[in-house]
Structure 1
Amino acid sequence: MDIRLAERVKALTPSTTLAITAKAKEMKAKGIDVIGLGAGEPDFNTPQHIIDAAFQSMNEGQTKYTPAGGLPALKDAIIAKLKDDQGLSYDRNEIMVSSGAKHALYTLFQVILDENDEVIIPIPYWVSYPEQVKLAGGKPVYIDGKESNGYKITAEQLQTAISERTKALILNSPSNPTGMIYSKFELEAIAEVCLKNNILIISDEIYEKLVYGSSRHISIAELSPEIKDQTIIINGVSKSHSMTGWRIGYAAGNKAVIKAMTDLASHSTSNPTTTSQYGAIAAYMGTQSPVEEMREAFEKRLEIVYDKLIAIPGITCLKPQGAFYLFPNVKEAALKTGYQNVDEFAAALLEEAKVAVIPGSGFGSPDNIRLSYATSLDLLEAAVERIHTFVDSKLVKS
C-alpha cells in the first residue's frame, strides 16, 4: 500500500547527532575501536538516592496516572528550586511538568504558533529548535551568533530580525553546542528589545548547573518582573542530575500558556511517567552534592582536553563556559588535509581515525564540529590524540 506522508514531516531534517551516533554504534558492534564524542548526556549514573526514591514509589503502589501537568509535589519542588536558584516566584498553575525538556519545547511551540508565525533562533542552535518550529507551522528566522562575539547574538541583530510576524525568541544559555553563556549586560539589552516589541522569550536553561570557572548562569527572567512575565523557562533534570532516560522536564511561565500546554499534553502523553516524577522530586529535594561532583569532573576534563585540542594544526576553539561540549572551528584543518568541507572531514575522522564527532552543519555552523566531553578523561585524551595524529598525517601527505 502506498501511504502518503503528511507534508509537515516531509520537510523535517533528520538529526545529525542521532545519525552519527548510530553509525558509531554500528561500527562498535562490529568490533571496531570507535571513540564516540557525540553524546549529549552525562556519563555518570543517576545518583543513588534518586533511584531509591523511584523504587520506593513503585513499591508503595505509585504506578498510576498523575495529573497531566505533573504531580503537585513535583511542581512544589520545582517552585522551590526556582526560588532558591533564581529568586523567582511561581505558583503551581505556572508550572507544567513534561516528558523531558524537549517535550516541553515541542508542546510550547504547538500552543503559541500559528501558520507562518516567526521564531528567532540564534546560530549555532540545538538541532531540534528549527524542526519543532516548522512542525508547529512556524517559520525559523536565524541570526548568526558571530564567533567573534562568543557565538552570541546582540540586541542590535535581534531588533533587525524582528518583523510583524515575530512571535518568540529562543535563548539557550549555557549553549548547546558552544558552551557559551550570556552575561547579565547582554541579557539586559536583549530583554529591552523583547519588551519593546512584545516578543516572547523562550529561555532554555537545561545546562544551568554545568558552569565553570568564574562564569555564572543568569536566567533572563531574573532581570525584572516585566521580563519574567514575558519569559517561559524550559528546564529539567536530564543534564543536571544525569537523568536523561527518565524524561522529566518542565516549563515555567505565563499561566495561560502553561494551561494550554497542559491541556495539549493531556491528549498526547496523558502524564509524564509517574515513577520518573518521584525520582525528580528526590533530585530537587535531596542532596545536591552529586550535581557538584559531576560539574567538577566535567570542569577538570575541560581544563585538560582544551589545551590539547587547540594544539592541533588548523583548529581553533573558544573555551566553553558551561555545558559539556567543545565547538572548535576546524575549517582550516579540513581544507589543509584535503577535504572540501567540514562534513567530509568529520566523516573521515569516523572512518579513518575512529573518532565520532558531530558536524557543525547540523547546528547551523558548517565550519565547526561538536565534541562532547561527557566521557572518561582517558577516552577524551585518546580521541584528541587520534584527531591530532590524523591531521598531522594528512598535512604531511599534502
Structure 2
Amino acid sequence: MASRNVGRRRADHRADRRRGLAIPTGHGHGHGHGHGDHVVDTSVVNADAIVARRVRIVVAAVLIPLITAAVVAMIVLWPGGGVKVASYQTETARGEVTAIKACSDPKAQCDEATVKLSTGPEKGRSVPVAIPKTGQVPIPVEVGESVMLGVQADAPTIADKYQYVDHDRTRPLLLLAGLFAVAVVALSRWRGFAALVALAVTAAMLTQFILPAILKGSNPLLVAVVGGTVIMTVALYVTHGINAEASIALSGTIAALGLTVVLGWFFTELTQLSGLASEGASAAKQFAPDLDLTGLLVAGMVIGALGVLDDVTVTQAAAVWELSAANPSASRRELIGAGLRIGRTHVASVVNTLVLAYAGAAMPTLIVFAVQGLPGQYVVSTETVAMEVVRGLVGSLGIIAAVPLTTALAAMAVAHRSRELVATEPEHVGS
C-alpha cells in the first residue's frame, strides 16, 4: 500500500512539474504543513545551502565590484564646500497675517497685509507686506494664514524690506508626512520603519550628493548612476535585510538601471533633445552656466525610474522565492515561466502608471496645445512633449527589462534547491 501511495504521489508530482506548478512538499522545513491552506515560509530559501552558495558567487563577481566602484566614485565626486551662489542668496522670514486691506495707491494692483514675523532677527514685529494681484493667478491670502517672505536687508523703508513669496505650507506638509509614516509603520511594522530610514537616506543622497555634485560641474549622468546605485543598495538591504533574496533583487535593479541609462542617452541624442524645455532648466542654466542640460535630462530619467525598478525587482525576486519555498525541486524553466506570468501582470499596470505620471506632469503644456488645435504629429515632435515621451518610454523599457532579468537571476539561484528532500521522500511517506 505504501509503495502504491509513493508511486502515485511521485507520478502526481511529475505531472504538476510538467505543468509548471509550484507544489508544497508537505513535509515540514517551513514550506507548509498539512493539507489545504498553509503559510509559505520564504526564509528557508535564504537559509538553503545551495542558494547561499550560488548567490555568494553573484555577490562576489557582480555586486561587490559594482558597489565598491560606486562608493569610490561617490567619494571622488563628492562636492567639497558649498555650492550656493552668493549673488543669488536672499534672506527669508515667515509670519502670520493679522490684517489685510487694499493698497492705498489705486493703480497698484495689490493688497497690503500686516504680517507678524515668527522667524528672523525681527521676530514678533508686525510689518507691512504687499501681496501682488498681477502676473500668474494668485492664491488669495487671508487673515490667520502663514506666509513666507523674502528679506531685502538694505531696503530704504520697512515697506520695501519684506516681499511676499508664497504661502507657508510647513505645517500641513508635516502633518501629511506624519500620517504617511504612521500608515507605513502600522501596516509593515519594523520593515515599514526600515523603509522610512531608507527614504531618509534617499533624501540625504539627493540633497547632499547628487544635486551639489551636478552643480559643481560633475557629469550629471555619472552622478545619477553612482548615486542611484548607492541609494538602491542602502534601500534594499535596509528594508529587506542582507540576504540572498535582496541581493538578487539588487542585481536585477542595477542591470535594469544600466539599460535605462544606455537607452536614455541613446534616444535623447537620437531625438536631439536639448533639455531646455525642462521645467526650471533656463533658471538652472543661469545659475550654473556650465551645466550639461542634456545629461541632466537623462539623469532625471534614471532617478525617476529608480523607485519603480525597485518595486518590480523586489516583487519578482519575492515571487520566485515564494515558488521555490512551495516547491524546492522546481526547475529553472518552471520558475522562470511562473515568475514571468506574475511579472507580465505587474508590468502591464506599472508601465501604465509610469506613463500616466509623466503625462500628468505635462498636463498644463498639453492643455495649451489642445487649445491651439495643433496636429498630433506636430505636438509630439515639440521638445516639451517629445521629452516626456522619451522619459516615459525609456523608463518603461527599463521596467520591462527588469522583469526577465530579475526572474532569470532568481531562478538560477533557487532552481533544483535541496534535491535531497525529494530523494528521501519515500522514507518519510513509508514511515
The bucket for the TM-score relative to the shorter chain is under 0.3
Normalized against structure 2, the TM-score is what? 0.23
TM-score calculated relative to the size of structure 1: 0.24
More helix per residue: 2
Structure of higher RCO (CA pairs closer than 8 Å, 6+ residues apart): 1
> Larger Cα Rg: Structure 1 or Structure 2?
2
